[in-house]
């Protein structure tokens, strides 16, 4: 039984490790006593432009009011809540420059002498325990200071900004401007006054370009290129590099992925295209439910004609983009950032819909649900805390119940809830003299709206505006469903838009009162909470789920009021933030959190994301329930993104229990509602049997309705989309339920991507169906403009809606006669194409997660559409997806032999439900047959649409069961080292990356000197190459590790057989690479130097390439990393000098 006091959610005493700054916030509760001098009208509402008596405004750490720190070039509403906000907001009186700004891959900091720059690659990790905090941070330790001789500025200011860049300005002993941004390895600088001056924090090593205008240097193990105009030189004196820039005023500096000359030359070719602007534009393709976003940079060529720059794609970009990328990448707090050679890239993300509420599909006892509903609808007082945050929570608590009352036919409760929500919103939406009920104030100094009474620093630090205001907007969106007139701009809609624009203004051109997208980081794809970002770890964000509530609220307000621009803004933020949360809060693919942080498997999530890392923590509690739960609450119709990966839900919940050391103790309803995405039956049992106190923003009615709905509906099905954004699809044991909300004033027909249709959904109603094209079961809304507050009269809940179930007619099964003997290249990948539709076998959403759905999709060359067939004997194959290395799997295991069982991906376990044979059906097509069941891979309902689901079914000779395998010509000149080599056993080189990282053991040199002579070498080869020599040189990267062995040296020899006749025509032996005695891979490359070579270059004509790897010296064994995917990084490769 939960009888303990629930902790207050206060951000005043953060539960963070001591490695971070001590952080304090202030809040103020007040009752204004002076009249409001200016109240600006917004429809029937108003806000004040006169600061209420006793109210506080943005200030510094000592409580002194502050103004934006900017030059005359920056006018209008000042951006806050950004990664660079400490540059424009002096939080600490003794620091007029900035705190660390996490541009990533660089971390930078303004100082009196210029811009400090670093590229941290090794995280500082506190793994924690169930009793204390765990966190990881890529802590900044300066490598370089970028400035000019004599610079000693009294401050640094914002001189310009764009969607993901900022320009800093110094003036004192000369002037300096530096532009830097997210995903940009370059810093672009212009100056006046003294010579350009770059000072290293440690003795630098110059490895290329000495005595020229462009240098490659290494400082603290990090590699940089420094680029001055042609015609000048950099002179070195100790740790300093100085240049007069040949009378020009610009130079650039880039962090380099490695210290090869080829890499340096590539960056040099891009160093003079200075980025002057960045912008993101988005569009929602409603027919395909796809959000397309283009990220573009504008450049100016400082010299030469090249205007191309490089852009670094964060993980949530890269997995949703087909844009061609280079092989360059950086390790950061957001995982690998991969480089694009070009000024733009586009992401395409599937949008799986939101609803205003769940449908009336639960197996709840309707009398019980009504009783819980009436307990809240007719309680003595709905509103406790008077501040913006707790008022907002109370508003959503009530608004969530309005549609449930409508579903139950409880008009009395519905009208009482509508009245309560409407009245409280209108109180806050009206500014008046001596206002004690809450009001909003516009601060023109910063360009923001502040609600008073404020809380959690929403006034003094401009914290959390999207959190607070999202609750108001969501409640207003629900109210708009029932009272559309109330939502008109001429009535109360203008005040709702005021709050939307404060946190998420689309354009300063249309509303100059506010900056563009204040709290949403366009490039990182998620929100930031702190207004000033005055922390050593950069900005931070705790409750990702409250940010998603704001996004859902904007979307629903737009949909329910017919404002497509706001609806699509909500979709843009919601979709990007969904992917960002999955990667940066939940680490669903295990590709972001550093290994040391997850070593004990007690951190499947963080409670807070910081600019330089993440913390298993909150601002208000160290209890695991709250660390997890703060990224779940509040639950609403837009919370369905939390259920996209049921396997992860169960993992998250399980690890929370492990960290507690038992069952959940706090926020039980919040935890159960999340658990219901993975195990609704258990959550329902807990609700029925455990006594608890609802979380302050929850009710028993809403929790009961939520859990029981998911128990009946099943999991979120992301493989099916609809041509309206207010929809959802659920799947329970292979049976789908289709749900759509019609927010318009006219009937609406909704078509799903697999052909299912919900016909003529009535205005402002929800419909659902199980099956193909049955008529919908609609729940209409009675949009009474002025509901009458009734007395409490419970409804006799006898009505049970009928849900039509379609019974498809299926042909009689034709047994498979047997499997064909088919020879496939186990080192290649194949496109698998359905005969009836021409679409490819595809892992949904490019997901790497266990259980990710497999469906069909138009072929775009994605790695999630490429499959490797490896023989397991008896004509059966293991079939693995290239992007994840996971196997094509019949869900449910070896006993799942029935028709209609779903196909997904799963780690290969050598079970018969993961083994497939090919039956030749003629004309180049095959039936693909599961070994355990004898059933065929089948596109459900013979759908020809993108997203058509794939399951197993008796083979009937239909074209939706016949597949063509097309070998993918990888092309290119990069060979990947694939695992499997051992002494006297050859491994392979492949034009395709491996399926997952492995290692091969390199035998010891036995204490002998084997320098130059391959001995007990690992050998890897590839044949059948036809390429034209391009006059370049061989390059390679081998990631090797001698663990703790002392005195080892790994060596490589690369050989070319031009015609594949078995005689090697050219051989290159490289100097050995002395490995260190520290566990962890090191990069051995051609920069070690060529020891010897023989044979002239020629073209490859059906040629062969071989690499031999051995220990040249030492007594210990070593290992070479093999088969790594691009996402895993540290890929051992050879880059051939051929086209």
Q: pLDDT per residue over 42-55, tens digit each?
A: 999 999 999 999 99
Quickly list DSSP for 30-67.
----SPPS-EEEETTEEEESSPPTT---SB-TTS-B--
Q: What is the helix (H) or strand (E) element at residue 368, kind and residue range?
A: helix 366-377
pLDDT of 269 reads: 98
150 contacts: CB under 8 Å, gap ≥ 6: 173, 174, 193, 194
- The two tokens of residue 594 are 């550093």
Quickly list DSSP for 507-557.
-TTT-TTS-BTSSEETTTTEE---SS--STT--EE--HHHHHHHHHHHHHH
pLDDT of 846 reads: 83
**CA–centroid distance for 586 within its chain:** 9
* Statement: 85-312 belongs to CATH 2.60.40.1580: no
Query: Region 1024-1041: what's the mean pLDDT?
Result: 90
608-610 β-sheet, strand order: 124-126, 134-137, 613-616, 608-610, 540-541
pLDDT of 511 reads: 97
| CA distances, 465 to each of 92, 426, 453, 523, 779 (Å) | 22, 19, 13, 20, 34
Q: Where are the beta strands (DSSP E) in 762-901?
A: 765-769, 777-779, 830-834, 840-843, 854-857, 867-873, 876-881, 887-890
Which of 101, 16, 90 has the alpha carbon at shortest distance from 612?
101
Cis check: omega of the bond before 889, within 30 degrees of 0: no
Query: Region 852-872: what's the mean pLDDT?
Result: 87
The pLDDT tens digits for 395-413 are 999 999 999 999 999 999 9
What is residue 491's DSSP assignment? Answer: I
Per-residue pLDDT band for 10 (boundaries 50, 70, 90) equals very low
What is residue 942's DSSP assignment? Answer: G
Identify the architecture of domain 829-968 in CATH: Trefoil (2.80)
CATH of region 366-716? 1.50.10
Q: What percent of the chain has pLDDT over 90?
A: 76
- If one counts every other C-beta atom within 10 angstroms of the C-beta of residue 968, the result is 16
Region of poorest pLDDT, from 515-519, 721-725, 808-812, 880-884: 808-812
| 464 is an active site residue | yes
Domain boundary assignment for the chain: 85-312, 366-716, 717-782, 829-968, 974-1135
DSSP-based three-state secondary structure for 457:
coil
Which of 985, 1070, 991, 978 has the alpha carbon at shortest distance from 1023?
991
Region of poorest pLDDT, from 194-208, 610-624, 733-747, 981-995: 981-995
Checking if the pLDDT of 994 tops 90, the result is no
Angle between the 465-482 and 401-408 helix axes, to the nearest 10 degrees?
20
Please compute Rg for the chain using Cα positions: 31
pLDDT of 1046 reads: 77
Distance CA 613, CA 314 (A): 14
Checking if the pLDDT of 812 tops 80, the result is no
The pLDDT tens digits for 539-551 are 999 999 999 999 9
Checking if the pLDDT of 776 tops 60, the result is no
Instruction: State whether the Cα torsion 1062-1063-1068-1069 is positive or negative.
Output: positive
The pLDDT tens digits for 692-708 are 999 999 999 999 999 99
pLDDT of 818 reads: 72
Rounded to the nearest 5 percent, the helix, strand and coil shares of the chain are: 20, 30, 50
> Hunting for tokens 């509040």 — which residue is that?
634
Determine which one of 406, 464, 524, 1108 is catalytic.
464
Checking if the pLDDT of 860 tops 90, the result is no
Query: Region 607-619: what's the mean pLDDT?
Result: 95
Determine which one of 82, 542, 568, 938 is catalytic.
542
DSSP-based three-state secondary structure for 162:
coil
Distance CA 236, CA 255 (A): 19
| 1076 is an active site residue | no
| CA distances, 252 to each of 215, 229, 267, 1054 (Å) | 11, 9, 11, 37
Quickly list DSSP for 1018-1087.
EEEEEEEEEE-B-S---EEEEEEE-TT-SS-EEEEEEEEESSSSS---EEEEEPPEEPPSSSS-EEEEGG
CATH of region 974-1135? 2.60.120
pLDDT of 87 reads: 99
User: How high does pLDDT run on average in the chain?
Assistant: 90
Checking if the pLDDT of 328 tops 90, the result is yes
- The two tokens of residue 344 are 């733009």
DSSP-based three-state secondary structure for 348:
strand
Instruction: State whether the Cα torsion 1021-1022-1024-1029 is positive or negative.
Output: negative
The pLDDT tens digits for 910-920 are 999 999 999 99
Determine which one of 546, 568, 695, 938 is catalytic.
546
Checking if the pLDDT of 673 tops 50, the result is yes
Q: What is the helix (H) or strand (E) element at residue 468, kind and residue range?
A: helix 465-482
| 341 is an active site residue | no
Query: Region 912-939: what's the mean pLDDT?
Result: 93
């Amino acid at each position: 039984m939960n009888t303990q006091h629930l902790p207050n959610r206060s951000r005043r005493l953060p539960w963070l490790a001591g490695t971070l700054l001590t952080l304090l916030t202030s809040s103020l509760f007040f009752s204004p006593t002076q009249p409001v001098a200016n109240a600006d009208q917004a429809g029937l509402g108003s806000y004040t432009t006169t600061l209420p008596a006793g109210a506080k405004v943005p200030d510094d750490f000592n409580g002194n009011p502050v103004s934006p720190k900017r030059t005359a070039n920056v006018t209008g509403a000042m951006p806050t809540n950004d990664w660079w906000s400490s540059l424009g907001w002096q939080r600490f009186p003794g620091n007029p420059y900035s705190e660390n700004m996490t541009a990533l891959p660089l971390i930078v900091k303004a100082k009196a002498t210029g811009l400090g720059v670093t590229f941290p690659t090794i995280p500082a990790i506190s793994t924690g325990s169930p009793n204390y905090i765990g966190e990881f941070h890529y802590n900044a330790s300066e490598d370089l200071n970028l400035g000019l001789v004599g610079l000693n500025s009294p401050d640094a200011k914002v001189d310009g900004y764009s969607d993901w860049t900022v320009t800093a300005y110094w003036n004192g002993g000369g002037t300096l401007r530096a532009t830097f941004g997210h995903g940009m390895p370059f810093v672009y600088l212009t100056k006046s006054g003294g010579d350009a001056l770059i000072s290293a924090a440690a003795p630098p090593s110059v490895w290329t370009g000495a005595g020229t205008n462009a240098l490659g240097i290494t400082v603290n193990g990090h590699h940089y290129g420094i680029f001055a105009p042609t015609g000048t030189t950099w002179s070195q004196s100790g740790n300093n590099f100085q240049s007069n820039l040949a009378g020009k005023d610009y130079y650039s500096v880039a962090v380099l992925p490695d210290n090869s000359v080829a890499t340096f030359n590539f960056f040099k070719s891009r160093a003079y295209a200075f980025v002057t602007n960045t912008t993101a534009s988005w569009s929602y393709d409603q027919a395909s439910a796809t959000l397309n976003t283009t990220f573009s940079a504008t450049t100016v060529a400082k010299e030469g004609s090249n205007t191309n720059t490089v852009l670094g794609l964060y993980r949530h970009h890269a997995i949703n983009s087909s844009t061609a990328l280079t092989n360059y990448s950086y390790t950061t707090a957001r995982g690998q950032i991969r480089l694009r050679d070009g000024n733009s890239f586009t992401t395409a993300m599937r949008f799986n819909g939101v609803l205003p509420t769940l449908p009336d599909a639960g197996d709840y006892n309707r009398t019980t649900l009504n009783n819980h509903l009436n307990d809240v609808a007719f309680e003595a007082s709905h509103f406790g805390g008077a501040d913006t945050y707790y008022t907002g929570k109370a508003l959503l608590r009530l608004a969530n119940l309005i549609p449930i009352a409508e579903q139950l036919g409880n008009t009395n409760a519905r009208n009482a809830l509508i009245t309560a929500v409407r009245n409280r919103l209108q109180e806050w939406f009206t500014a008046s003299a001596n206002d004690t009920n809450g009001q909003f104030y516009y601060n023109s100094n910063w360009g923001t709206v502040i609600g008073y009474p404020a809380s959690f620093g929403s006034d003094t630090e401009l914290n959390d505006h999207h959190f607070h205001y999202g609750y108001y907007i969501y409640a207003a969106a629900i109210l708009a469903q029932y009272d559309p007139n109330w939502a008109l701009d001429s009535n109360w809609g203008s005040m709702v838009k005021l709050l939307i624009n404060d946190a998420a203004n689309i354009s300063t051109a249309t509303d100059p009162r506010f900056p563009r997208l204040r709290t949403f980081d366009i490039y990182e794809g998620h929100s930031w909470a702190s207004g000033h970002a005055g922390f050593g770890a950069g900005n931070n964000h705790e409750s990702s789920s409250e940010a998603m509530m704001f996004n859902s609220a904007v979307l629903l307000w737009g949909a329910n009021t017919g404002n497509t621009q706001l609806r699509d803004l909500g979709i843009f933020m919601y979709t990007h933030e969904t992917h960002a949360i999955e990667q940066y809060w939940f680490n669903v693919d295990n590709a972001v959190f550093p290994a040391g942080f997850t070593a004990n498997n007690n951190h499947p999530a963080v409670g807070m994301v910081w600019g330089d890392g993440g913390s298993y923590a909150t601002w208000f509690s160290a209890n695991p329930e709250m660390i997890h739960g703060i990224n779940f609450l509040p639950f609403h119709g837009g919370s369905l993104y939390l259920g996209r990966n049921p396997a992860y839900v169960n993992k998250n919940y399980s690890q929370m229990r492990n960290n507690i050391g038992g069952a959940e103790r706090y926020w039980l309803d919040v935890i159960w509602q999340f658990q219901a995405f993975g195990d609704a039956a258990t959550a329902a049992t807990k609700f029925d049997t455990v006594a608890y106190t609802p979380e302050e923003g929850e009710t028993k009615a809403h929790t009961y309705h939520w859990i029981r709905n998911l128990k009946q509906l099943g999991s979120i099905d992301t493989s099916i989309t609809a041509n309206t954004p207010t929809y959802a699809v659920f799947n329970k044991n292979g049976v789908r339920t289709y749900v759509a909300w019609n927010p318009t004033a006219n009937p609406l027909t909704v078509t799903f991507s697999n052909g299912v249709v919900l016909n003529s959904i009535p205005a402002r109603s929800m419909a659902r169906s199980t099956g193909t094209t049955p008529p919908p079961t609609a729940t209409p809304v009675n949009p009474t403009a002025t509901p009458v507050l009734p007395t409490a009269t419970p409804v006799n809940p006898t009505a049970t809606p009928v849900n039509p179930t379609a019974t498809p007619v299926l042909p009689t099964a034709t047994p498979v006669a047997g499997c064909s003997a088919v020879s496939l290249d186990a080192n290649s990948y194949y496109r698998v194409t359905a005969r009836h539709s021409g679409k490819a076998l595809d892992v949904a959403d490019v997901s790497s997660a266990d259980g990710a759905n497999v469906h069909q999709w138009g072929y775009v060359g994605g790695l999630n559409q490429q499959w490797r067939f490896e023989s397991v004997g008896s004509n059966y194959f293991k079939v693995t997806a290239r992007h994840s290395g996971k196997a094509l799997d019949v869900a449910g295991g070896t006993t799942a032999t029935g028709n209609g069982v779903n196909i997904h991906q799963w780690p290969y376990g050598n079970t018969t439900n993961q083994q497939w044979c090919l039956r030749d059906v003629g004309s180049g097509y095959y039936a693909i047959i599961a070994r355990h069941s004898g059933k065929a891979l089948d596109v459900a309902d013979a759908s020809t649409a993108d997203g058509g689901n794939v399951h197993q079914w008796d083979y009937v000779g239909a074209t939706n069961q016949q597949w063509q395998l097309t070998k993918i010509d990888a092309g290119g000149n990069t060979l990947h080292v694939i695992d499997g080599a051992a002494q006297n056993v050859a491994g392979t080189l492949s034009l395709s990356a491996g399926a997952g990282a492995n290692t091969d053991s390199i035998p010891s040199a036995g204490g002998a000197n084997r320098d130059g002579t391959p001995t007990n070498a690992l050998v890897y080869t590839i044949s059948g190459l036809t390429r034209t020599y391009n006059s370049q040189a061989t390059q390679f990267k081998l990631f090797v590790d001698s663990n703790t062995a002392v005195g080892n040296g790994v060596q490589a020899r690369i050989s070319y057989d031009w015609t594949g006749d078995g005689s090697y025509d050219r051989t290159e032996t490289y100097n050995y690479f002395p490995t260190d005695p520290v566990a962890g891979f090191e990069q051995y490359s051609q920069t070690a130097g060529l020891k010897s070579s023989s044979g002239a270059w020629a073209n490859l004509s059906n040629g062969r390439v071989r690499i031999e790897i051995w220990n040249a010296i030492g007594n210990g064994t070593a290992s070479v990393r093999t088969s790594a995917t691009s996402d895993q990084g540290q890929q051992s490769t050879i880059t051939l000098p051929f086209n």
